[in-house]
Amino acid sequence: MTQLTTNVTTRAPKYVNIDFDKNTVYISGITAMIESDDKQILANMGDTNLTLCGEKLEIISLDTAGNLCTVSGRVNSLKYSKGAKKQSLIKRIFK
């Protein structure tokens, strides 16, 4: 099992842990789930968004009160981004 830890800047400092093994990812620090499908999961972590890209992704459990999420499937990449609201397709095209 591999673990990544990063500090998320919110009102009170907190740590985010990402543990993963062959087909399961365990994430602490999730405050909200923005969207998900079988190829991508977008989650909010305070002022940061986390995007998981892969194949056959499925949210096994989500506990926003405890800030925990479990995802199964093959994860190809993890990406952090500034926590901005998702723009509509029209706004992205005419940007």
Q: How far is the first Cα of the chain from the last one, in angstroms, to the nearest whole number? A: 41
Model pLDDT, residue 86: 61
The answer to whether the beta carbons of residues 18 and 78 sit under 8 Å apart is yes
Model pLDDT, residue 41: 92
Each residue's pLDDT expressed in tens, for the chain with a length of 95 residues? 444 444 444 443 367 788 988 889 999 988 888 899 999 999 888 888 899 999 999 999 998 888 889 999 999 999 988 865 566 667 667 76
Model pLDDT, residue 66: 86
